[in-house]
Amino acid sequence: MICQAKKHAGRMKDSSSLHFTGDGYKILFEEVTKCIKDNYPEQVPEKLDAKVKMQWEKDLGW
């Protein structure tokens, strides 16, 4: 579910990087956000003074 690789002639087409599915990126985002919150609570997005809000921040109501 997390990682999908396209294979070509029995070998990975691009072995230089990881490619996640949509669900995989969601899990990655949630875990990184949790790690920041747990270890650097002063650095969570809600506490940072941003001059411009990103669309995802607006979507989340930040």
Confidence of residue 62 (pLDDT cuts 50, 70, 90): confident
Among candidate residues 26, 36, 35, 28, the one with its CA nearest the CA of residue 60: 26
Looking at residue 11, what is its pLDDT? 55
Q: Which of 57, 53, 59 is nearest to 33 (CA)?
A: 57
SS3 17: coil
Threshold 0.75, pTM exceeds: no
Q: What is the pLDDT of residues 7-58, one digit of tens each?
A: 444 555 556 678 889 999 999 999 999 999 999 999 998 888 877 888 998 8
Confidence of residue 61 (pLDDT cuts 50, 70, 90): confident
Taking the C-alpha atoms of residue 43 and residue 28, their distance in angstroms, rounded to an integer, is: 18
Helices (H), the chain: 22-39, 55-60
pLDDT, residue 19, reads 85
Tokens of 17: 């990087």
